[in-house]
Amino acid sequence: MGMKDEVVKSYKMLKEAGFKVEDIIFEGAMSVKAKDILDRIERLSNERSAFGNIRIVYSVDKNQTRNIVIPVGKAMPEVEEAEEDIGL
């Protein structure tokens, strides 16, 4: 399943369960509620030009929020090499 599909399905799941989705952000830097932005991030991820997380922030009541984190992209080659070097 692609990252965009996972974000959309998670969003719908939360809405159907009665939660209010407050925001959807990439690394806390940009709002990604628009599907065209998700398309661009997914394309960059597939090209290994984006690496990070999509965070879906939702309310459980007026005073509490929760979040779901969806990883984006594969580890960059440098990260993969470092993991191999330390035996992960």
Dump pLDDT digits (tens) for 30-64.
Answer: 556 677 878 887 887 777 767 778 888 999 888 89
Asked whether the predicted pLDDT for residue 14 surpasses 50, the reply is yes
% of the chain beyond a pLDDT of 70 = 72
Report d(CA 62, CA 47) in Å as an integer.
Answer: 40
Asked whether the predicted pLDDT for residue 27 surpasses 70, the reply is no
Can you point out the beta strands (E) in 1-88? 20-26, 30-31, 52-61, 64-72
